Amino acid sequence: MHKNFTHILTSLVVVIAITSCDIGDNKDVNPASSFLKIYDSHQFDHAIGPVDVVQTDTEGYLLLGNYRRDDTNFLGTYIASVDSRGEFIRNTYVQGSNVHPVGKFLLLGGQRYFVSMDAVGLQGYLNQVDDSARVVSTIALGVTYPMYAENDGTDQFILLSYNSVDATTVLSLVSADGSIANQSAFGIGAGQSVEEPIIDHFTRTGRELPFFAGRASSGLYYLNGFYNYTLSLLFSDLSDNNPTGVVQGQQDEGGVSGLLSLDGGQFAVSRFNFGDSYTNALATLNASGTTSSNDIQSNPMLEWEVDAKVKMISLTLDGVGYVVIGTTTKNQQIVLHFYDQTTGNYVAVDYLGFSSPYQLGAIEVTADNGLAILGSIQVAGKFQRLCLFKVSEGELLDLVQ
């Protein structure tokens, strides 16, 4: 039965690959500039979810994903390597207790890394990975329950994590050797009910929550995590354990779902509130006081899927800056919204995916100033597999002009 199911899935993926066409209709287009690829797995029963994508120095791509394992409550770690045309090279199902990979891919000292977790001790791992999707080294980090990682310069990164012993959301600055240069911890509040949605996020027995962190153009650090009983956006200078500013949500039913720091202390922001979604591509947030996410002026996004990932990037096309906000629609397509970065005005929208259900995982600006969009597809409505869209700069210009 295993072989029969594997044969069926392989045939389905081949059919999709043959019947699907490049995103662009120009026959003279470089095959590396525009494509859609769907990736099969020899493990037919593994539902592989998207985590992050990064372009390598050879203009291929590393794909980071997760999958359900039978021997742990946490999702396993999956890495794949594809070439510049999106053609599959190899993959790695990381074995042992290395689980729960989180975005983003990190570039430290010219090498690629990602953060994961030990399934038993719950401490964070920093994994160096080569362009062939092999884990080169793994070192333990002095945190537990890692939630998100983001680059912060060339030799350190920002790490968001959870300390279940002290019941704190922790923001750390970590070096490539795993040492912690600076750290602040913010209390989530007492009681098991406060911690429950966090643990459910890690085991995927509940919703995947929008944990993220970064550094604003003002120099302040920000994080989206639990603080004082509520999923909140915090601003901090990491001088102590008190945030300089708080944008409060509604327990775990409302809050900020995506954030992109822009010049001049402004932000592109998306928020959710009891199933409804909103966005503002040019918002001013109070980083030195306490406000509510519901106070952020924003437009309703009626077609967005409830609790879907929201990803944001900035992009310059023909000298014009744009904010790109991506997510998944209610009818299971990947949608990209384009806004003028200077005015915040809506410019264009693009939908990716057809026939089968698609979900967004991550967006990356490529070396040729196009976009790489990592997602997942439900093949035949049964098998969740990774997919990679590559959209060329020319196609993006046609869209926004």
Task: For residues 203 and 162, give the distance between their C-alpha atoms in angstroms, rounded to a whole number.
Answer: 14
Helix (H, G, I), strand (E, B) or coil at 164: coil
> Which tokens in the block code for residue 392?
């060329």
Helix (H, G, I), strand (E, B) or coil at 71: coil
Phi, psi angle pair for 53, to nearest 5°: -135, 145
- Per-residue model confidence (pLDDT) at position 29: 62
Q: How far is CA 204 from the centre of its chain?
A: 16
What are the distances in angstroms from CA 270 to CA 9, 109, 232, 236, 304?
37, 32, 13, 20, 11
Supply the range of the domain harboring residue 268.
2-400
Residue by residue, pLDDT tens for the chain (401 residues) are: 333 333 334 334 433 433 333 344 444 668 899 999 999 887 777 899 999 999 999 999 999 999 999 999 999 999 999 999 999 999 999 999 999 999 999 999 999 999 999 999 999 999 999 999 999 999 999 999 999 999 998 899 999 999 999 999 999 999 999 999 999 999 999 877 889 999 999 999 989 999 999 999 999 999 999 999 999 999 999 999 999 999 999 999 999 999 999 999 999 999 999 999 999 999 999 999 999 999 999 999 999 999 999 999 999 999 999 999 999 999 999 999 999 999 999 999 999 998 899 999 999 999 999 999 999 999 877 889 999 999 999 999 999 99
- Per-residue model confidence (pLDDT) at position 141: 97
> Which tokens in the block code for residue 252?
């775990």
- Per-residue model confidence (pLDDT) at position 129: 98
pTM greater than the 0.85 cutoff:
yes
Nearest-5° angle of CA 250, CA 254, CA 256?
115
Mean of pLDDT over the chain: 92
Task: For residues 161 and 172, give the distance between their C-alpha atoms in angstroms, rounded to a whole number.
Answer: 8
> Which tokens in the block code for residue 232?
């909140």
What are the distances in angstroms from CA 380 to CA 10, 16, 377, 383?
11, 10, 9, 7
CATH code of 178's domain: 2.130.10.10
Residues near 252 by beta carbon (within 8 Å), at least 6 away in sequence: 197, 207, 209, 226, 230, 231
> Which tokens in the block code for residue 53?
């994508």
Q: Is 21 exposed, middle or buried (0-12, 13-18, 19+ CB in 10 A)?
A: exposed
Contact 51, 94 (CB under 8 A): no
Indicate the number of domains in the chain: 1
Contact 346, 325 (CB under 8 A): no
DSSP for residue 305? P
Contact 363, 324 (CB under 8 A): yes
DSSP for residue 144? E
Residue with tokens 């662009």: 24
Contact 385, 13 (CB under 8 A): yes
Residue with tokens 């600076």: 182
Number of residues in the chain: 401
